[in-house]
Structure 1
Amino acid sequence: MRVFSASPREMFASLWRNRELIKTSAKREVHGRYRGSVMGILWSFFNPVFMLAVYTFVFSEVFKARWSGGGESKSEFALVLFAGLIVFNIFSECINRAPGLILANSNYVKKVVYPLEILPWVTLLSALFHAAISLCVWLLAYVAFFGIPHATALYLPLIVLPFLLFVMGLSWALASLGVFLRDVSQLVGVITTVLMFLSPIFYPAAALPEDYRHLVYLNPLTPVIEQTRDVLFWGKSPEFVLMGWYWIFALAIACLGFAWFQKTRSGFADVL
């Protein structure tokens, strides 16, 4: 039985070693999603444009929603909401697909030379492509409604990078569990739906009663969503101490998830 390295060094070494394969696979996946459609990959741009227009109309005209402490701008709530959704959609797309990654690529399992550990990277890169398009739409809308974006937007990579490591750790763990426990994909779908409403996407964390506010901060998505809004929309610098702890937490989750995947992958072929 082949033993696969589960060290943190191998986690990053594999990413670098297989970078061309990951890039090619992600490109094929993105194009495959729109294959056969008349507009093709242009849908990746028009989808977020359409959704932002819907959010702006529904929340500003129908619900007359205003963000806590915000002004009276009709587009403000939609942009603040959309910023949170960009973060959540990365998480949702990767986590919902993770339990079925190995099952959907079972033909690779018995190929000793194929690096199965890159499959979550491919999904993440595809999700990041769509997130980048959504962010461009967000920035264009911000320029149209409010003018030049805040310089604090440059802090965004500092906030997103540890979040991506956290997502990868969960994806590796779920991709492995999905092979042995087929119910995992159903459970994950329910959990991500619940997390969407328990995360401060449609409301600020400060809007919760003080007795319950600490609970929302137990959600690992909360710091990323709140800090993303701060640097993009409100022009605030990130809380560096909080993000420092988040980096440590995310690295730990990534290492544990990768180690679990590497330790269990030798049993994939027996189950499949």
Structure 2
Amino acid sequence: MRTVMGEVWQFRGLIGNFAQRELKSKYKGSVVGWAWSLINPLVTLGIYTLVFGVFLGANPPEMGNGMKVFALYLFTGLVIWNFINQVVQGSMIALTSNGPLLRKIYFPAFAPVAGNIVALALQTAIELGLLLFVFAVLGNLYWTVLWLPVVLLLVIAFAVGAGFYLAALNARFRDVSYLVQVTLNLVFYATPIIYPISLVEQYYDRHAWARIYELNPVTQLVELMREILYTNEAPSPTRFAYAAVVSLVVLATGWTFFQRRSRDLSEVL
């Protein structure tokens, strides 16, 4: 049986073409062009910082250098969330929008989904590059940044697995995309992105059931990123192990489910 990487490598040219098409069409006709890839997250960051950091007085933990910057605390979480959110929703759109093409000519159904993921990864790389630059300027970049490629691989594995699974499911049942939008909104507020996780942890002793909050894999991925970039700590072994297991399981099951459904996708799209 061919591995996931073997499948992707075999059709790398086709995936690249879909990614290129996605990148060209995304900002086609725009005056600002690719600058929107930074403007959009920065505007979102500004709004959340104003509302939660200024008006509601959110108090983030200290960075490794002792400073407290809510905007950076927020942005570190948003980079992860934006990628997962866009991959999940973009995967469903990429598959359904290429349905007519898939019915006319043969190509592996995962190619447009993978191409969309590559395009989103490039956009996330820009955001991450900006974040690292700011941390470097503030003197808050330590050896823990060496963990970044490993954490990013876990984020990618989780997002890709979920994206493939939901793309295949949405091809069959179009209500899935609407349910996913509602679910993602709930997950966003159930993840410590716009607030510190300490606000939830204070209830653990009084309410044991509150610990189910930790089962949210996105929470673990966001906190891992903050540990290595914001507070400059080595990843928590328990957090890392849980995130690794969940991410790899999601990737494996998502890919397997998609491949098993791929034969019927051209008929239902």
Q: In which range does the TM-score fall when normalised by the shorter chain?
A: 0.7 to 0.9
Q: Secondary structure at the match of 2:215?
A: coil
**TM-aligned CA deviation for residue 47 of structure 1:** 3.2
Are residue 187 (structure 1) and residue 184 (structure 2) matched?
no
**Residues 60 and 247 of structure 1: CA distance in aligned 2, closer, same or farther (over 3 Å):** closer
- Number of matched pairs: 263
- How far off its partner does 1:237 sit? 0.9
Q: Match for 2:31 among 35, 38, 52?
A: 38
Report the Cα offset of residue 148 of structure 1: 4.8
Q: Could you tell me which residue of structure 1 aligns to residue 195 of structure 2? A: 203
Please tell me the residue identity of whatever aligns with 1:231. Answer: I
SS at match of 1:221: helix
Task: Label 1:137 to 1:53 Cα distance change in 2 as closer, same or farther (>3 A).
Answer: farther
Rounded to whole Å, the distance in 2 between the matches of 1:168 and 1:143 is 29
Structure 1 counterpart of 2:193, one-letter code = I
Once the two structures are TM-superposed, the CA of residue 54 in structure 1 deviates from its matched residue by: 4.3
Q: 2:4 — aligned with what?
A: 11
Structure 1 gap segments, 5+ residues each: 1-6
Q: Give CA deviations for 1:150-176 in whole Å, capped at 9, x if unaligned.
A: 221221111121221121111111111
Q: Separation in 1 of the partners of 2:141 and 2:150? A: 17
- Which residue identity does 2:117 align to in structure 1? L
Partner of residue 177 from structure 1, selected from 169, 183, 203: 169
Residue in structure 1 matching 2:15, options 11, 22, 42: 22
Deviations 1:123-168 (A, max 9, x none): 2222212211111222233344x22522212211111212211211
Say whether 1:265 aligns with 2:262: yes
Which is further off, 79-88 or 12-21?
12-21
Query: Partners in 1 of 2:179 and 2:100 — Cα distance?
Result: 25
The residue correspondences of 1:94-105 to structure 2 (distance < 5 A) are 94-105=87-98
Q: Which residue of 2 aligns with 1:168?
A: 160
**DSSP-derived class of the 1:38 partner:** coil
* Aligned equivalents of 1:246, 1:61: Cα separation in 2: 32
Distance in 2 between residues matched to 1:154 and 1:72, nearest whole Å? 20
Report the TM-score when normalising by structure 1.
Answer: 0.86
Alignment of 1:76-225 (within 5 A): 76-111=69-104, 113-144=106-137, 146-208=138-200, 209-210=203-204, 211=207, 212-225=209-222
CA contact (8 A) 2:165 2:257 kept: yes
CA contact (8 A) 1:26 1:123 kept: yes
2:256 and 2:245 map into 1 onto residues whose CA distance is: 16
Shift in Å at residue 69 of structure 1?
6.0
2:244 to 241, 244, 247: 247
Identity fraction in percent: 28
Q: Tell me, what secondary structure is at the counterpart of 1:110?
A: helix
Partners of 1:142 and 1:149 within 8 A in 2: yes
Question: Which of 239-248 and 257-266 deviates more?
Answer: 239-248
Cα RMSD after superposing both structures: 2.4
One-letter amino acid of the counterpart of residue 41, structure 2: P
Following the alignment from structure 1 to structure 2, what is the Cα–Cα distance between the partners of residues 79 and 58?
15
What is the distance in 1 between the residues matched to 2:141 and 2:61?
21
- The corresponding residue for 2:234 is 237
Distance across 2 between alignment mates of 1:62 and 1:250: 36
Residue 58 of structure 1: how far off its partner (Å): 4.3
Distance of 1:196 and 1:164 partners within structure 2: 18
Cα deviation 1:59-100 (Å, max 9, x = unaligned): 444333221467995x61111111101101111111122333
Letter in 1 for 2:4: M
Task: Say if 1:90 and 1:124, in contact at 8 Å, map to a contact too.
Answer: no
In structure 1, distance between residues paired with 2:158 and 2:53:
34
SS of the counterpart of 1:35? Answer: coil
What letter is aligned with 2:147? Y
> Post-superposition shift, 1:270?
2.6
After alignment, is 189-198 or 147-156 more displaced? 147-156
CA apart distance, 1:115? 1.5
